[in-house]
Amino acid sequence: MLDKQEDGTVGETETVDVVKHLKDQLQQTKDFFTPKGLTSWFTDTFRLYPGYSFWRAGDGEAFMSLWSDNLATQLSLIAAIKGLPEFPEDVIYEKIFPGVGISLLFGNVYYALMAGKLWGKEGREDICAQPYGINTPGAFAKVYSIFYPVYQNSYYNGMSPEDSADMAWKVSCSCNFVGGLFEIAGSFIGPVVQATIPKHILLSALAGVALAWLFLSPMVSMMAHPVEALFPLLIVWMGYIGEFRFGSFPIAILAILVGSSLGWATGLKTKEDLDNGIDAMGVFAGEGGASFHKFDEVSDYVGLLLPIAMTNFVGTMQCVQSASMVGDTYNTMESMIVDGLGTLIGAFFGSIFGTTVYIGHPAYKKMGAGRGYSLLNGVAYYIMCLFGMHALLDAIIPHESVLGVICFVGAMIISQTLSVTPQRHYPCILIAVLPAICDWADTDVKNPAIDPYIYGRGFSVLVEKNATSLTCENSGVDVKLAAPYAGENLVVDGCYPDPVPSHSYTYGVTAMTGNYLVIGLVWANLFMYVTDRRFFPAAIWAAVATLFSVLGLMHTEEANLKNLSDHLPNSEDPERFRFAMCYSLMFAVCVLAHAFQTYCPELAVKYTDYRVPGTPPLSGQMEDSAEKQIIEPTINDELEQSNDLAAIDSQGADRQQSVASEAPQPNPMFEMGNMDGQERENTD
């Protein structure tokens, strides 16, 4: 039986809540899918409610904030995709973004309709629609962990850039469609997940993506153009974190304008770029059915899609809850389904990015927004994507000028995770983000322009920096290399470079990157329970890790039950067996520790306590007050004990307390999405 404590631990009575959540969700589902429920939903939702204003005084400012936040994300995604070698840019504007525009139109319009429905129910004029856009961390995770590998593996094995881009697009569309299905499923199981897994543990895997791909990777790129990139970062930091106001001007737009001006002044952008951007514009309606081409490839990425969906639907629940705290109570299940449907519709027409409700509704409501800003945002992006206007904006705005906004988003996700994490669980968060950092190193750092070693699965080959091909010593086949990249999979006609023992650490990097989000999530849960000495749930998570290792959901790039004999100890690829054996041993140790807790409480000796935290001390044990403090050691307790040992005089302690009381408190942090809106909320 599990029980969430105030400090984030899990203890004894939560099973009752889980059952209650399951019953409530089942009853809501039954009520919704009755003829009466469906009829009521349709008639209440798709009404105009003319008494509820379509445009209010605050809608203009709210629109600029939401539009600029979406734009920064989209331009950064375009820059990430264009970073692939010889990538044909027409795929971005003609195939991917038409689907993005359709999904944003659907979601923004529907959330405006939901606001109207709430007005019809309550009659309040101050009702504000929920903001909506691309799921920023999930989008980058899909680009770098699905789109990149598919393109690189195709390109470096002889396919043309056009065919490689088409393959990557189709596989990513199919994965995005399945991700939308997972999001819809989350509307039924999301409350259960939220009740059983602490918030900071759910966010830990996402924090890894934020640290590696939204913070570290952009910062490294910014160093190549510090004038055009670091100065906009300063503006972003001043406005969003320092809360320095630039009037009512949106921070993201100001940073982009300043960065663009510097980019044109330094020659980073030229008239030729502008001409190319204009030429790339056209009318692009999207390709229907794009998500159905490569369903057979989706199984390889289930380990990535599941954690993204989990963090997304839990985030949606939190956003809906934040809206209810300021008086706008929306249906949580309906919002989660809308997020999933928006992703499905976008994927059907070619989008590779998921969509979600954004946090920051209270801030938009403070601006005086209603439903007009949401409607205008959806229509604006649909028109922009329909006519390929992103090509023009990308030609005008340097990629470097928007990286500061992305860095800020990453920093906020990391900060939010830490802000809801008990101090004793900080090590659990650290170990959870390591797989994402390894994935970044595996994707970005394995580059002969940076390092002359080209890594593969368990091997590395030293190549000339200017080499155009690599000859396999085993077969004599020449493997194509394309500067400045040289893909991690160099397999052509059975060509496998020989292992290099001195670089055996690449085994570890590869093992950490295989479905890295699942690894981070499982590790965070496992080590959290070990930290709290709750060894029974820790044993459950060790068993989950064992099963996932066997299925290929952890430490490998493929998730399937095919050819399991290939992963036995004496096979060519024993990865699954080795990790399954490791987690099985962890399971045994946790079961043994739980047995000590249950059947041998007398083993709680002076300096070792096997008991579950919170249980009363045993009779005759730890009678001394100093020894009692050892029962529940925390970072703060240890600091207090250190202060006692140091014999801090009362005057010094008073001075220290005075300084601490006057120190500024950290800003409340938040997720991706409406940065400018949240900044205003904090300031106001």
For helices 332-348 and 97-122, angle between their N-to-C axes, nearest 10 degrees: 160
Q: Report pLDDT digits (tens) over 113-145.
A: 999 999 988 888 889 999 999 988 788 888 888
Phi, psi of 534 (to 5 degrees): -105, 85
d(CA 587, CA 535): 9
Query: In what helix (H) or strand (E) does residue 366 lie, and over which residues does it extend?
Result: helix 361-366
Sequence-distant (6+) residues with CB within 8 A of 304 are 141, 142, 145, 146, 175, 515, 516, 517, 518
- With vertex at residue 383, the alpha carbon angle to CA 148 and CA 47, rounded to the nearest 5 degrees, is 110
Q: Where are the domains of the chain?
A: 54-419, 443-513, 533-599
d(CA 438, CA 474): 29
The CA-based diameter of the chain, rounded to the nearest angstrom, is 84
Low-confidence ranges of the chain (pLDDT < 50): 1-16, 447-467, 472-477, 479-504, 559-572, 604-607, 617-684
d(CA 105, CA 385): 10
The answer to whether residues 358 and 87 touch, using CB atoms and an 8 Å cutoff, is no
Residue 494: CA count within 13 A, CB half-sphere:
3
Q: What is the pLDDT of residue 586?
A: 96
Q: What is the pLDDT of residue 540?
A: 95
d(CA 169, CA 162): 11
Q: Report pLDDT digits (tens) over 208-248.
A: 888 888 888 888 888 888 888 899 999 989 988 888 888 77
Question: What SS3 string covers 63-115?
Answer: HHHHHHHHHHHHHHHHHHHHCCCCCCCHHHHHHHHHHHHHHHHHHHHHHHHHH
Q: What is the pLDDT of residue 100?
A: 95
Q: Quote the pTM value.
A: 0.68
Q: What is the pLDDT of residue 324?
A: 80
Q: What is the pLDDT of residue 296?
A: 81
Query: In what helix (H) or strand (E) does residue 644 lie, and over which residues does it extend?
Result: helix 635-646
Q: What is the pLDDT of residue 601?
A: 67
d(CA 454, CA 572): 22
d(CA 501, CA 637): 46
- Tokens coding 656: 């220290």
Q: What is the pLDDT of residue 101?
A: 95
d(CA 231, CA 555): 40
- Tokens coding 382: 């649909």
